[in-house]
Amino acid sequence: MANYCQECGKELISPNAEICPNCGVRLKEIVINRRSPVIALILSFFICGLGQIYNGQFGKGIAYFVIYLVCIASVALLIGLLLWPVWWLIGMVDAYVSANKINAGEDASRFINF
């Protein structure tokens, strides 16, 4: 399968090329699967963990959702009144920051990314 530069259309000799030899554009940044930080945040606003799943971090998203359920359950012990909103906010901020890190090609593998 031949690869082509998305910028100038020239065929690339190496499929792993990072920079197009013809126009000099960074290919990895274009190839990268971009995530919208705002969409990730909004998804986590509605369902804690969904923004992480949107970011491609499926296991982490499930873990966030499970912790969220535990926080809700702990409302019966009153401590949940604090844990629930705090974890909900952490879920939203992490989804936003993780999406930015993924877009920048940075390491977003930490469980809480901020």
User: Which residues of this chain interact with Zn ion, rule CB under 5 A?
Assistant: 5, 7-8, 20, 22-23
Cβ proximity to Zn ion: between 23 and 38 the closer is 23
Cβ proximity to Zn ion: between 13 and 76 the closer is 13
Which tokens hold the place of 53?
A: 């799943």
Cβ proximity to Zn ion: between 5 and 48 the closer is 5
Helices (H), 11-49: 27-31, 37-46
Contact 35, 104 (CB under 8 A): no
Give the torsion sign (CA, 11, 14, 18, 24): negative
User: Shortest approach of Zn ion to residue 6 CB, angstroms?
Assistant: 8
Cβ proximity to Zn ion: between 30 and 79 the closer is 30
User: Shortest approach of Zn ion to residue 13 CB, angstroms?
Assistant: 12
> Residues with Cβ < 8 Å from 74, sequence gap 6 or more?
80, 83, 84
User: Shortest approach of Zn ion to residue 105 CB, angstroms?
Assistant: 19
